[in-house]
A and B are shown apart, each in its own frame.
Chain A
Amino acid sequence: MTCTLGEVKQRADFIVYWGGNPAECHPRHFTKYTIMQKSKFLPRGRKDRTMVLVDIRETKSAKAADIFMQVKPGKDFELITILRALIKHQHVGDDQIAETGVTREMLDDLVQRMKSCKFGCFFFGMGLSMTRGKHMNSAALLTLAAEMNAFTKFVAMPMRGHGNVTGADVIMRWQTGYPFGITFNRGYPRYNPGEFSTVDVLVRGDCDAAFIIGADPGATMPQPAIDHLKRIPTICLDPHITHTSKLARVHITTAAQGISAPGTAYRMDELPLPLKPALKSPYPTDEDVVRRINKAISEKPFWLPEGSQPQMITAQV
Chain B
Amino acid sequence: MTINLHLKQAPSVPLEAEVLSPNVMAELSNSEIRALVVYHGKRQVPLEEFFDVDGERSYELIIHGELNKVRLIGRAMSRGTVTVHGSVGMHLGALMTGGRIEVHGDASDWIGAEMKNGFIHVHGNAGGQIGAAYRGALAGMKNGTIIVDGSAGLEVGMRMRRGTIILGGPAKDFTGLQMKGGTIILQSGAEIRTGAWMNRGTIISMKPLQMMPTFAYASDFNPTFTNVYAKQLKPHGIDLPFAGSDGTYQRFAGDLSVPGKGEILVWQPA
Contact = CB atoms under 8 A, between A and B. Distances in A.
B135 A192 contact: yes
Given A81-B257, A313-B16, 5 more contacts: A93-B213, A136-B193, A316-B76, A317-B76, A317-B116
Interface of B: 12-14, 16, 18, 23, 37, 39, 41-44, 69, 72, 75-76, 90, 95, 97, 109-110, 116, 128-129, 134-136, 173-174, 177, 192-193, 196-197, 212-214, 216, 255-259
A93 B76 contact: no
Contacts of A92: 213-214, 256
A251 interface: no
A82 B135 CA distance: 24
Contact of A88 (B41, B42, B197, B259): B259
Contacts of A97: 213
Contacts of A303: 42-43
Given A185-B41, A208-B12, A90 B135 contact: no
A133 B194 CA distance: 12
A186 B43 contact: no
A208 B41 CA distance: 9
Contacts of A90: 214, 256-257, 259
Interface of A: 77-78, 81-82, 84-85, 88, 90-93, 96-97, 99-100, 132-133, 136, 184-187, 191-195, 206-208, 303-305, 308, 310-311, 313, 315-317
Judged by DSSP, the binding face of B is loop
A100 B13 contact: no
A155 B227 CA distance: 48
A81 B109 contact: no
B182 to A, nearest CB: 18
Given A194-B128, A316-B76, A81 B116 contact: no
Contacts of A317: 76, 95, 97, 116
A206 B108 CA distance: 14
A181 to B, nearest CB: 8
Contacts of A88: 256-257, 259
Contacts of A132: 173, 192
A315 B76 contact: yes
B98 to A, nearest CB: 11
- Nearest 4 A-B pairs (CB), nearest first? A96-B213, A84-B257, A90-B256, A316-B76
Contact of B213 (A81, A208, A304): A81
A136 B174 contact: yes
Contacts of A78: 193, 212-214
17 contacts: A78-B213, A81-B196, A81-B213, A92-B214, A133-B173, A136-B174, A185-B16, A193-B135, A194-B109, A206-B69, A208-B12, A304-B43, A304-B44, A308-B44, A310-B44, A311-B37, A317-B97
Contact of B39 (A185, A194, A305): A185
